[in-house]
Amino acid sequence: GENVEQHPSTLSVQEGDSAVIKCTYSDSASNYFPWYKQELGKRPQLIIDIRSNVGEKKDQRIAVTLNKTAKHFSLHITETQPEDSAVYFCAATVQGGSEKLVFGKGMKLTVNP
């Protein structure tokens, strides 16, 4: 089955710096890779996703890249702000298959003002 590894587990940056979160997956059939953000005490919410037919997707200050050959994908946050502080989860699944989304263990991002 699918296994998703995420690193680092914690990251602390200064406001305005960039942050990068990296994930690897094991199932070469996986074709959908979402990222979720969970603020303290709140439910996870989807912030961006990418499908295997593209290599990069951007939405304002966040972007995700996918390398299918190496089976890894990354989340990039530029010009970080204190409100970016949260736990970020990557996930992977096979669309049209079992639809069982497998999550990484999460990364706690702290943006210091």
Partner 1 sequence: DGGITQSPKYLFRKEGQNVTLSCEQNLNHDAMYWYRQDPGQGLRLIYYSQIVNDFQKGDIAEGYSVSREKKESFPLTVTSAQKNPTAFYLCASHDRDGNEKLFFGSGTQLSVL
What is the C-alpha separation between 82 and 55, in angstroms, rounded? Answer: 28
Question: Quick check: 102 and 91 in contact, CB under 8 A?
Answer: yes
The site that binds partner 1 (CB under 8 A) totals a number of residues, namely: 24
Question: Quick check: 6 and 90 in contact, CB under 8 A?
Answer: yes
Can residue 34 be called a binding residue for partner 1 (CB under 8 A)?
Answer: yes
Nearest approach in angstroms of CB 6 to partner 1 is 7
Question: Quick check: 58 and 49 in contact, CB under 8 A?
Answer: no
What is the C-alpha separation between 26 and 57, in angstroms, rounded? Answer: 21
Residue 16 or 97 having the CB closest to partner 1: 97
Can residue 25 be called a binding residue for partner 1 (CB under 8 A)?
Answer: no
Residue 44 or 80 having the CB closest to partner 1: 44
User: Which residues 69-98 are close enough to bind partner 1 by CB under 8 A?
Assistant: 89, 93, 95, 98
Question: Quick check: 111 and 85 in contact, CB under 8 A?
Answer: yes
Can residue 17 be called a binding residue for partner 1 (CB under 8 A)?
Answer: no
Binding site for partner 1 (CB under 8 A): 1, 6, 9, 32, 34, 36, 42-46, 49, 89, 93, 95, 98-106
